Amino acid sequence: MLRIKPFGSTFVLLSIACFGLFFSYPSTAVEKVYKFGVVPQFDARRIKNIWQPILDAVSKQSGLQFELLGSANIPTFEKQFAAGEFDFAYMNPYHLIKAREAQNYQPLLRDIGRQLYGIIVVRKDSSIQQVTDLQGKTVAFPAPNALGAALIPRTEFGEIYKINVQPKYVRSHDSVYLNVLLGQADAGGGVQKTFNKQPQNVRDALKIIYQTRKVAPHPLAVHPRVPEAVKKKILESFLALGNSAQGRALLKEIPMNQIGTATMEDYDALINLGLDKYFLE
């Protein structure tokens, strides 16, 4: 029988060997990957083409890692932020109001050089000339709660012009313009930035007959679980992009032409527009 003395040399050597076996290799900590959401105003490929280079640049600047999460459509995106799936999310201003209610998301950044407003477009050869001509007509919208493209227009149709339209929800801004162009809708709701990104032949075939009231544009919002030090790094990295020609070119694709900080006070005016009546859960 092998006998080991409690404090003998054999025990000590065995202990050292075991210690070395378990601890001779340094452990590698798993790096946190922050989940990033983007309201799907465009198709998934275009969103990735716009945002992945931006996130790569921010990652290089900050040393943080990001995963760009897809959303099949705007209602899916709404369910995702309501469940707190995103650490960071680029969302429409009224989404921010709802995201704050659901998860206490807070705005971090926005374009401080412009305002958001909706537009209503028709074909250039349409007899529709003004908003009141839309009574009873089919109007394409990307989704019920797309702020500039649907929620504000629908609110203004009902509260200001007292008209009823037949809404047709077609999932994206691109589809709105295509539906109008092909005569599958009498009119469509969009925003100026998505209209400007349409092919020249699409823009040439459509005309804008109405602009809605203006509000502060889409913010980049952050979930409260994100540490303050990380928020600071992200803020500084995005602002640094705005200070370089290459970074400004990337941000222009959002578009975010003059990047700056955002606060909830920037969006307080939305609360008084009566949008809740027309917001669809």
| Domains of the chain, residue spans | 33-115+216-278, 118-211
Q: Is 281 helix (H, G, I), strand (E, B) or coil?
A: coil
Q: What six digits make up the tokens of 121?
A: 């477009």
| Beta strands across the sheet bearing 88-90 | 65-69, 33-38, 88-90, 219-222, 106-111, 259-261
Peptide bond into 255 cis (omega under 30): yes
d(C-alpha 88, C-alpha 68), whole Å: 10
d(C-alpha 54, C-alpha 105), whole Å: 21
Phi, psi of 189 (to 5 degrees): -105, 135
Q: What six digits make up the tokens of 49?
A: 């083409």
Domain at 33-115+216-278: CATH architecture: 3-Layer(aba) Sandwich (3.40)
Beta bridge mates, 241: none
CA distances from 276 to 28, 82, 169 (A): 49, 16, 19
Q: Indicate the burial class of 1 (C-beta count within 10 angstroms; 0-12, 13-18, 19 or more).
A: exposed
Multiple choice CATH, 118-211, 3.40.640.10, 3.40.190.10, 3.40.228.10, 3.40.30.10: 3.40.190.10
- DSSP for 146-189, written as a single string: -IIIIIHHHHHHHHTS----EEEE-SSHHHHHHHHHTTSSSEEE
Residues of the chain with pLDDT under 70: 1-30
CA distances from 140 to 144, 150, 159, 215 (A): 10, 9, 19, 22
Tell me the pTM.
0.75
CA distances from 126 to 146, 154, 157, 176 (A): 25, 21, 19, 16
Task: Note the pLDDT of residue 272.
Answer: 83
Beta bridge mates, 262: none
Asked if 33-115+216-278 and 118-211 have one fold, the answer is yes
Task: Note the pLDDT of residue 5.
Answer: 42
d(C-alpha 170, C-alpha 144), whole Å: 10
d(C-alpha 94, C-alpha 98), whole Å: 7
Task: Note the pLDDT of residue 30.
Answer: 63
Phi, psi of 82 (to 5 degrees): -65, -30
Of 70, 36, 78, 76, give the one whose Cα is nearest residue 54. Answer: 36
Task: Note the pLDDT of residue 271.
Answer: 83
Task: Note the pLDDT of residue 43.
Answer: 87
